[in-house]
Amino acid sequence: MADIGRNILLVEDEFIVANDLQIMLEKAGYKIIGIASSVTEALQLIQVQQPDMVLLDIFLQGKETGIDLSQKLSTAGIPFVYLSANSNQRILEEVKATQPYGYLVKPFREKDVLVTLQMALYRHAHSIEAGMRKQKSLQISLSDTLSATGDWEQKLLQSARHFQAFIPFDFLLTGILNKKEANRIYGFFRIGFDEYQVLSLPDISMMTNLTVDKVIAMLHEFSHSDAGLYNGEDFTTNCRTIPFKQLLAKTFDLSSNLSQSCQMTREGSFVLSFYSRNDHVFLQEHLSLLQSLQKPLAITLDRLLAFDEIERLSEQLRRENHYLQEEVKTGANFDKIIGTSSALLQVFDQVTQVAGTDTSVLILGESGTGKELIARSLHNLSPRNSKILVKVNCAVLPANLIESELFGHEKGAFTGAADRRIGKFELAHGGSIFLDEIGELPLELQSKLLRVLQEKEIERLGGKGPIKTDVRIIAATNRNLEQEVSEGRFRLDLYYRLSVFPIQLPALRERTEDIPLLAQFFAQNFCRKMGKPYLGIKDKVMEELVQYEWPGNIRELQNVIEQAVIINDRNSPLELGRSLEKKFSVNGALPMTKTIPATLKTLSDVKLMQQETEREYIISILRKANGRIRGKNGAAELLNLKPTTLESRMEKLGIHKSKI
């Protein structure tokens, strides 16, 4: 049996030449595995057994030439040596472009054939070894670069620099296409020896005049179908079948292409598409190099994406944990919605109808009517209830921080941004977000919120591209948004997007039959927390609670009951700690006292009224302090007065501790 590396295929249509070569080579110890007179015969023989070397004539029987066969041999990685008497300059240029391992001019001497063949086999073995070293070197460099810390733009830019040493290109389109996660796609346009203009996905979108989603869709299509080597006319033909490649060629004046994609286990692919402004730049060895990198690159990227996912989930869990801890501290003092009135039952029906959908809900109602509780009910009754409900109060966030809070920011996005931070929308991914006081959102942020509703994606401050998000939006406001729209303070298109399913919460004065239930619920809760027995609420007090207008709604009722429990002497049903006639006006003016009758005309009459109001107020504070004037939580401390000053005022107003 002949040694490995000594199996020769002769492709020669002149019988005498082929026979002489066979005798010559077998005498030197080579094995002739076959003689073919056409490209078709040669390919059939190659299918049966793989030759180590092919001696190849240029002009053969049939339409195809030895040059046509050489391209197939290069693809298969089989070395070849030309045999020809042709001296035509054009043919010789075509021969040279195929990169043969040798060229023998007919007629040839036995010595020339054997030396050329020996040199060709040596060069081929050396090129295989050099190729393996080159492949290993590039593989290590890419693995180190991709595994390093830093953002993906910098990793891919450094990867482009590594590739440049092995594959000459003017433009590289590369990145990760993933159906479930954010796509990381960049273009690197060469503008110097080692300098590149970096184009993000939005940049490519703008330059090709396609939407980002359309670019991603076309990239997915061409990453699964477009792998290979395209030079000259092949590139032009390929562009006609792939519109996106044609757009790139036109935009960047490109003439040849080398493409390969690595399929990953995470339902995605890593795209590598090299382009040059010149024809016939890319060779079979370049494609072979990329093909050899497919598996190791896929393994490296799968591992990195898994680590990225773990880091993202860990960060999200930390954020959720911190958020939930804050929610426990600041959450409501009651855990369910109390009431059986027809107005409230109508709200329950609406919540039940819409909770199971992903429809945006707008909750309307006065301050203190329980909008947050309704939002929580919507979330808890939805398929998203296993995920988090994130609450954002748009009224309390500083205008310059709202965008960062909602959408997050990258490190260095602005002064003080020392680390990357995910926003509330990313935190709520898979769950719901409750945007309370949505009417307070600045106009410039309203357009970005509209994009979230329309495109289902956000962009961090300082970020390089959009991030897909799956969040159900529940908004609430006590403002008249229609009036806000008419006065130019709220976007009409956003209003329509948010109010797909509006829910109007009734004011407490519109559901007076629920007041006894609410009052008893709050009283029992506060008594339990303060370690006091609950002995009910006096009938007279309950009647007063039902008849009161409650401008502060449920929140005001809760505060009134809490105050009553605080001053309760433990041995009697609850009494109110203050007169319900003394309340803050709706517009936030000073406390209103009893209405001054029209009969009070003189200054002395008004003064008497003021003194009576002050007297009642001090008495209520003394009751709250259990009659104590001095010390911690004494009446003087609650009124922010010196004890001696308070005692003087009490004496002047005729207040005696024994009668309190």
Domain positions in the chain are: 7-130, 148-307, 331-506, 593-660
- By the 8 A CB rule, do 6 and 14 touch? no
- By the 8 A CB rule, do 454 and 497 touch? yes
**In the chain, how long is the greatest CA-to-CA distance?**
139
Q: Which CATH number fits domain 148-307: 2.30.110.10, 3.30.450.80, 3.40.50.2300, 3.90.1150.180?
A: 3.30.450.80
Supply 565's token pair. 């429990």
Residue 554 and residue 185: Cα distance in Å, rounded? Answer: 52
The predicted pLDDT at position 599 comes to 40
Supply 555's token pair. 């929140």
List pLDDT tens digits, range 444-459: 888 888 888 888 888 8
Q: Which CATH number fits domain 593-660: 1.10.150, 1.20.1560, 1.10.3470, 1.10.10?
A: 1.10.10
Q: Which of 162-176, 183-197, 468-482, 605-619 has the lowest mean pLDDT?
A: 605-619
Considering the chain, what is the average pLDDT of its residues? Answer: 81
Strands 501-504 and 31-36: unpaired
pLDDT band, very low/low/confident/very high, at 601 (cuts 50, 70, 90): very low
pLDDT above 50 for 585: no
pLDDT band, very low/low/confident/very high, at 122 (cuts 50, 70, 90): confident
Strands 256-264 and 268-276: antiparallel
The reply to whether 7-130 and 331-506 are identical in fold is yes
- By the 8 A CB rule, do 55 and 80 touch? yes
> Which CATH topology does 331-506 take?
Rossmann fold (3.40.50)
Supply 248's token pair. 């790139």
- By the 8 A CB rule, do 387 and 316 touch? no
Q: What is the mean pLDDT of residues 75-97?
A: 82
- DSSP codes joined into one string, 587-599: T--SPB-SPPPTT
- Please indicate, yes or no, whether the overall pTM of this predicted structure exceeds 0.95: no
Q: Which residue has the tokens 């959720």?
A: 320
Instruction: State in Å, rounded, how far the first CA of the chain is from the last one.
Output: 120
Q: How many residues in the chain?
A: 660
pLDDT above 50 for 588: no
Q: Which residue has the tokens 């939930």?
A: 324
pLDDT band, very low/low/confident/very high, at 341 (cuts 50, 70, 90): confident
> Helix/strand/coil (H, E, C) string of 248-306?
HHHHHCCCEEEEEEEEECCCEEEEEEEEECCCCCCCHHHHHHHHHHHHHHHHHHHHHHH
What dotted CATH number matches 7-130?
3.40.50.2300
